[in-house]
Structure formats: structure tokens, C-alpha cells
């Protein structure tokens, strides 16, 4: 059902292209400037809607709780780690994180009103991986690290657009889903899962379990 949203947006864009072309090509040019302006605005709006559709399509449907990837750590130096993130499709990325703890964030679009009644589930896109120091002094003076996991490639960011409204739109809300900060440890491996309430990280090996036990 989630792909229906992208399809509907694309239909609106095609309608605007058709209508804009009709305005530009129909009748005489007695009101040429006005017709030309309206037509060009229609084409511009249609292009923007197409880019919105492409950005929305980059989000994934969120049904039941499921795994979004695995995070593993290799210590390079004190409070410095090489992090490998492998997503649910098996695509891996490597980053360097500084600090004592890590966190993964996701952007979530939660549909409201009739979209919920149509059975359309919330959508998500992984956003960023960041490190954090335990002490306030380290946070102030030591190097910080935040890495983009996935982002818009189309110049349009519908999530930020929705967040820009002071009040929630009647059909969609844009929220962050973040895993709790967890300790980084040499050799530790965590699985990250997502549900309607956000992200949850679970230890997959003894190093991660030991790090959690010591941290708690």
C-alpha cells in the first residue's frame, strides 16, 4: 500500500504538466504573458512534485518490527573506532566514530487521517550515525563525529518540509526515531531493529553484551 502514495503524487505531477502544456499551447496569445507565466509555474510545480515523489519513494515501508542492519566496531585508538554498518540489503558502509557511545537515527513519516484508514503504514529512512563522549568535558573539547547514512539525492527533502510547519499537517507527521546511546567496544556487534516507536539496538556477541553490562 505504501507505493500508492508515490503513485498518487506522480499522477498529480502528470496532471499539472498536461494542464500547463494546455495553457501554453491553447488559444491566441492576447494574454500571452499571463498564459506563459501560469504555464511555466505549472511546469515548475510539477517538477517539484516529481522530486517530492522521488524523495518519498526513498523511504521504506514500516510494518511489523524488523531488522534494519548490523553495526560492528573495531578500535583504532582511545575513543576512536572504525564502524561498519551493513543494512538489511547487505550494503555496507564504513565510518570513523569518536567517543564512548554510538547512536543511529532514522527519519520517520507517520501518516494520519484517511491514509491510516487506507492501511498505509508509516515510512522510514535511516539518517545518521553519531558518536558521543561520556563526560561533558570531552564533549566540549574533543573531536565530534556524525555521519550521514542515507539522504536525499533529489534536492528536495519532504521530511524537513513537513518539520518546517509549526503545527502538524493533517495527513502526515515527521519525527525522529533514535536508538538509545550504547557503548562502543572493540569487536562489539549490535543488531538494529525498527518498530513504530523507533529504533532499538541489541547485542549480538559477547563483547557487546559485556560492554552493556559494564555500562549499565
pLDDT one digit per residue (tens) for the chain, 216 residues: 556 666 666 666 666 666 666 665 665 544 555 566 666 677 667 776 777 777 777 777 777 778 889 999 999 999 999 999 998 888 899 999 999 999 999 888 887 776 666 767 778 888 899 999 999 999 999 999 999 887 666 667 777 777 777 566 677 778 888 888 999 999 999 999 988 878 889 999 999 999 888 776
β-partners of residue 128 are 105, 148
Three cell numbers written together for 189: 556487534
Please, what is the Cα angle at 69 between 58 and 197, to 5 degrees?
Answer: 75
β-partners of residue 132 are 101
For the chain, what is the radius of gyration of the CA atoms? 22
- Which residue in this structure is represented by grid cell 515527521? 174
Three cell numbers written together for 58: 526513498
The answer to whether the CB of 197 falls within 8 A of the CB of 112 is no
Amino acid at each position: 500500500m505504501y507505493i500508492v502514495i508515490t503513485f498518487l503524487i506522480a499522477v498529480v505531477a502528470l496532471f499539472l504538466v498536461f494542464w500547463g502544456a494546455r495553457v501554453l499551447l491553447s488559444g491566441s496569445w492576447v494574454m500571452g504573458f499571463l498564459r506563459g507565466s501560469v504555464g511555466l509555474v505549472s511546469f515548475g510545480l510539477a517538477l517539484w512534485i516529481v522530486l517530492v515523489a522521488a524523495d518519498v519513494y526513498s523511504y521504506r515501508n514500516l510494518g511489523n518490527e524488523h531488522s534494519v542492519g548490523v553495526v560492528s566496531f573495531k578500535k583504532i585508538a582511545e575513543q576512536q573506532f572504525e564502524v561498519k554498518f551493513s543494512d538489511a540489503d547487505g550494503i555496507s558502509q564504513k565510518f570513523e566514530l569518536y567517543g564512548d557511545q554510538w547512536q543511529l537515527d532514522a527519519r520517520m513519516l507517520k501518516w494520519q487521517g484517511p491514509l491510516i484508514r487506507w492501511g498505509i503504514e508509516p515510512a522510514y529512512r535511516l539518517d545518521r550515525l553519531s558518536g558521543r563522549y561520556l563526560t561533558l568535558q570531552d564533549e566540549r573539547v574533543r573531536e565530534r563525529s556524525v555521519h550521514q547514512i542515507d539522504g536525499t539525492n533529489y534536492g528536495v527533502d519532504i521530511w524537513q518540509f513537513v518539520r518546517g510547519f509549526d503545527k502538524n499537517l493533517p495527513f502526515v507527521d515527521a519525527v525522529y526515531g533514535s536508538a538509545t546511546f550504547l557503548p562502543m567496544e572493540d569487536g562489539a556487534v549490535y543488531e538494529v531493529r525498527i518498530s513504530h516507536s523507533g529504533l532499538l539496538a541489541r547485542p549480538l556477541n559477547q563483547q557487546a553484551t559485556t560492554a552493556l553490562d559494564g555500562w549499565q
